[in-house]
Chains A and B, each alone.
Chain A
Amino acid sequence: MRKMTLAVMTGVLALTLAACGTTNNKPTNTGNGTNQGNSASGTRTYFMNPKSIGPAYWAAAEKGAKKAEADLKVKVLFNAPTEADSSKQINMIQDMLTRKVNGIGVSPNDAKAVGPVFKKAAGQGVNIVTWDSDAPETDRQYYVAPATDLEVGELLAKTIGEEIGGKGQVAFMVAGLGSQNQIAKSDAAKAYFAANYPDIEVVTTVASDDDQQKAYANAQNLIQTYPELKGIVGFAGGEPPAAAEVVEQAVKAGTLKKNQIAITGIAVPSVVKNYIKNGTITTDIIWDPGKLAYVTVYILDQLAQGKEITDGMEIPNVGTIKVDGQNVFIGTLQVTKENVDSFDF
């Protein structure tokens, strides 16, 4: 008998927990049963699926998705596994297809593995848009990204070129030598130097394999090996702060003169805020993950209503977007001393 009581208690507790979880995420719980049948005319529901839940980058994206939810008067579910795990992510997408959401925005952990589930979604008439990370060769309809790798690479090259006065030695720091987006960006930067700053020499490209310790060691080696070095470009989020930290320490130790080495790259503003304020980094390139998520929800909503996505279309609260085939670009931001405090991510 005691066992039975315990079983019932367990069940009730699970129920209570589930219920409180639901109310937290679903303010219109009571309308749940009624708005299912007429989901076409009622509230449209979208599932926004980042790579994982936890990192600050995705938390900023969630804010943008929730803002879109309020602005567009739709329902957005923002969820992902706690670790960047492809199979858990796909289970979640399958569950959302069962729920018959009107569209799904995915940042796939594995571009190939999402193929079957995207095909299933397309079969059910659910629109899929990838964002932040693409899955080409699948049934996704659009890919929302900040800019092409070419544009970002050229922008970085232009920035560093201006900062060092158009001549001297520059070193590249990348996350992975084999990573496609890193190769594309650094090649674009090299091509830009060749065309516009022939006096700039790219002395080396070092890779950190996304390891912060290694990025730091790489930067230390760079300033040791190349005493004439005038600039460092970091092509992934971990590189510019590592370079800036090493340069600041060298300046403090007296081995480098202040502003002897210019640094630019891609990094989240909150991470490089102090380096920008100290003047170690003059310009940092970034995009707003919140806007990326906002635009994704907006495009899903347009698709669900059967509206077209056109080049140069105006998205309220974001601005105009560039559409190239199935790619949607929202543009990048330049972070400088003047505006660094205005970013909340």
Chain B
Amino acid sequence: MSTWTSSLRMNKLLVQLILLFVILVLFSFLSPYFLSVTNFMNVLNQMVEVGLIAIPMTMIIISGAMDLSVGSILAFSAVCMGVAFERGMNVWFSMIIGLLAGLLCGAVNGYLIARHRMQAIVVTIGMLVMLRGLVYVINQGRPVSGFPDAFYFMGQQYIGGIPVNAIFLVVMFLIASFVMKKTRFSTYVYGIGNNEEVVRYSGISVVRIRFLLFMLSGLFSALAGVFLVSRLASAEATSGTNIELDVITATLIGGTHIFGGRGSLSGTFVGLLIIVFLRNGLNLLGVSVLYQAVILGALLLLAVGNKKFNGV
């Protein structure tokens, strides 16, 4: 029985890999520019922000919750960092302020959701709206730019032909994947997603785990914000708008169950590759963004439908 389940789990990843492969082959035929090192490095460079947030998002969805405030946290951190820098602070110190701002937002989410058992979706929608408003209050909607060149290293430079931020993303995925496979923490996260009561009666602090997850989400959203500022050389109030949709789409295409309990970071990574390559390929073909939305939506429906058929 257990071998059967494990082969099923393997299979799920296999299905996603096949889908990714189909997309890659398809676009290689359709566009002569698709299959090139420059383009692939470009895509890697573009997927970092969504990818970073997808790590804690996968964990949170596995634990049976949802964080919709990530885009606003991203913008809030980016703008906090920008404003700190504008006030004459060192860029690296400003970066730490940005990260702390994200961590704080995550802590607020976690406190309300874990400690006071408020609905995650409601709390994070509240934060989504409130933080976006705060972002505009902080800098009146003006973008902040003019960071020193050393800071752009993170988002614009390459090491051995590979973008620095993509290397960072892959390392983060490897670490997180290790944590989600080998540690007790992961057992608790899956456990909470499957049956919160059982985990609680086993003497494990559900509150602490949940709190930690939302803190992580805040921190990674802030990291994404910092990398975005470095890549675009500008901290702006609109950054990260609707990014939560991309993140959740990648996670769901990656096979994570929306009600929690099942999912994997490797799946999310493949899901991420699927959506970024799809978007890049369609851009290269000159397909209007309006069709792109239709295609991406259809893909999500199919990915979810896929699961339904198999009764998973």
Contacts and interface: CB of A to CB of B under 8 A. Distances in A.
Interface in B46-90: 46, 49
A254 to B, nearest CB: 40
B26 A90 contact: no
A79 B228 contact: no
A24 interface: yes
A80 interface: yes
A83 B152 CA distance: 26
Interface residue range, chain B: 35 or more
Given A25-B287, A85-B241, A91-B279, 19 more contacts: A4-B15, A7-B15, A11-B22, A17-B291, A22-B285, A22-B286, A24-B291, A25-B288, A36-B33, A53-B289, A78-B288, A79-B288, A82-B290, A86-B143, A87-B231, A94-B42, A116-B156, A116-B231, A116-B232
Contacts of A116: 152, 156, 231-233
- A interface: dominant SS: helix
Given A14-B278, A84-B238, A86-B239, A7 B19 contact: yes
A286 to B, nearest CB: 25
Interface string A1-36: 011101111110111011101101110000011001
A288 B231 CA distance: 34
B232 A87 contact: yes
Contacts of B152: 116
Nearest to B16: A7
Contact of A110 (B26, B45, B236, B289): B236
Contact of A112 (B46, B145, B303): B145
A94 B228 CA distance: 15
A44 B49 CA distance: 34
B295 interface: yes
Given A96-B283, A99-B33, A85 B46 contact: no
Q: Which of B27, B231, B285 has the most CB of A within 10 A?
A: B285
A55 B157 CA distance: 36
Nearest to B246: A88
A92 interface: yes
Given A21-B285, A25-B288, A98 B19 contact: no
Nearest to B253: A10
A98 B32 CA distance: 10
A14 B299 contact: yes
A178 B140 contact: yes
B284 A99 contact: yes
Interface in A33-78: 33, 36, 53, 77-78
B287 A21 contact: yes
A81 B242 CA distance: 12
A162 interface: no
Nearest to A89: B232
Interface string B2-30: 00000000011011001100110011001
Given A100-B33, A110-B236, A113-B145, A18 B295 contact: yes
A84 B296 CA distance: 19
B298 to A, nearest CB: 6
B228 A112 contact: no
Interface string B249-285: 0000000000000000000000000000011111111
Q: Please name the 8 residue pairs, one residue from A and one from B, whose CB atoms are nearest each other, closest first.
A: A11-B22, A112-B145, A113-B234, A21-B291, A95-B283, A21-B287, A113-B232, A77-B286
Contacts of A79: 283, 286, 288-289
A98 B33 contact: yes
Contacts of B45: 94
Given A18-B26, A90-B232, A113-B145, A11 B19 contact: yes
A11 B26 contact: yes
Interface string B144-156: 0110000010001
Interface string B211-245: 00000000000000000100111101011011000
Given A10-B306, A14-B295, A53-B288, A21 B232 contact: no
